[in-house]
Amino acid sequence: MDISGKVVLITGASQGIGAACAEVFRKRGARLSLAARTEARLREISRGEAVETAGDLTDGEVRRRVVERTLERFGRVDILINNAGVGLYAPATQAPLETVRRMFELNVFAALELAQLVAPGMKERSQGAIVMVSSIAGRMTLPWLSLYSASKAALDSVADALRIELKPHGVQVTTVAPGYVTTGFQGHALTGQPPAGLARYQRYAISPEQCAEAIARGVERNARTVMAPRSGWIAVAAARLFPRLVDRQLARINHNLERGA
């Protein structure tokens, strides 16, 4: 898909991957609609050029307003980038269920409803793209982010369902699986803190700008899946081919992280 001139709706656009996507897609000539909780930061990212909708996407009314404001300004949504998401650091045996529900509301249900809201127009025009920003954690469960992994696995399945349903109508669906990205993700978790030893893995991190560029290229080439960085495919393949071995390795890493070793 040629991005130039397309109307792109980006959630979680005030920072991290979302803010980087706004810049990358703007440089490709897109017209932007940006959604996030922080109004002041949205104005900075917008530069007075984009539709700005501030609000909490766990609220269905906010989700509908985001799409309505985009349609009022541009008349359509060509590309939806479901980027908004949040983490949770707590063992599955101890995590507060209300907090888990809140995470799923944003990570899964908000993304699903936004896709439902834009899909009819895309089907009518026989073109469009929906991008689900998931995580490598959706492909292999990370024990220090076990329930976040579950939410991203659910998002992956939603994306697969949408892809199958919408393909005959000319609408592409791309799943993005970032690895470690240098964002404020850890500081914005709903509960808990990442294990202290996790910082050592920052050497494998990519920047939000690198991730956003990979997303844009994925849209342009109608990619089914974007792994960022691409080396993440090695870990995913290992988890599928040697699940017991990978489980043992992750359990060992998690145990060492908990001990601070």
pLDDT computed for residue 201 by the predictor: 65
Which pLDDT score is estimated for 186? 86
Task: Tell me if 86 sits within 8 A of 108, measured CB to CB.
Answer: no
Report the number of distinct structural domains present in the chain.
Answer: 1
The span from the CA of 261 to the CA of 201, in Å, is: 13
Determine the structural domain holding residue 81 and report its residue range. 7-232
Report how far apart, in Å, the C-alpha atoms of 138 and of each of 133, 135, 172, 182, 256 are: 10, 5, 20, 18, 22
On whether residue 255 sits in a domain, the answer given is: no
What is the C-alpha R_g of the chain?
18
Residues of the chain with pLDDT under 50: none
Per the domain annotation, does 254 fall within a domain? no
Give DSSP secondary structure letters for the chain. Answer: ---TT-EEEEESTTSHHHHHHHHHHHHTT-EEEEEES-HHHHHHHHTTSSEEEES-TTSHHHHHHHHHHHHHHHS--SEEEE-------S-TTT--HHHHHHHHIIIIIIHHHHHHHHHHHHHHHT-EEEEEE--GGGTS--GGGHHHHHHHHHHHHHHHHHHHHHGGGTEEEEEEEE-SB-SSTGGG-SS----GGGGGGGGG-B-HHHHHHHHHHHHHTT-SEEEESTTHHHHHHHHHH-HHHHHHHHHHHHHHHHHT-
CA-wise closest residue to 219 among 46, 6, 35, 73: 6
Is 79 among the domain residues?
yes
Q: What is the pLDDT of residues 100-115, one digit of tens each?
A: 999 999 999 999 999 9
The answer to the question of residue 196 being in a domain is yes
CB–CB of 250/201 below 8 Å? no
Q: What pLDDT sits at residue 230? A: 93
Q: Confirm whether 216 is domain-assigned.
A: yes
Q: Is residue 58 one of the residues assigned to a domain?
A: yes
pTM of the model: 0.94
- CA 30, CA 221: separation in Å to the nearest integer? 16
**pLDDT number for residue 255:** 81
Q: Which residues are catalytic?
A: 148
**Which CATH number covers residue 22?**
3.40.50.720
- Does residue 240 fall inside a structural domain? no
Q: How many residues are there in the chain? A: 261
User: How far is the C-alpha of 255 from the C-alpha of 245, rounded, in Å?
Assistant: 15
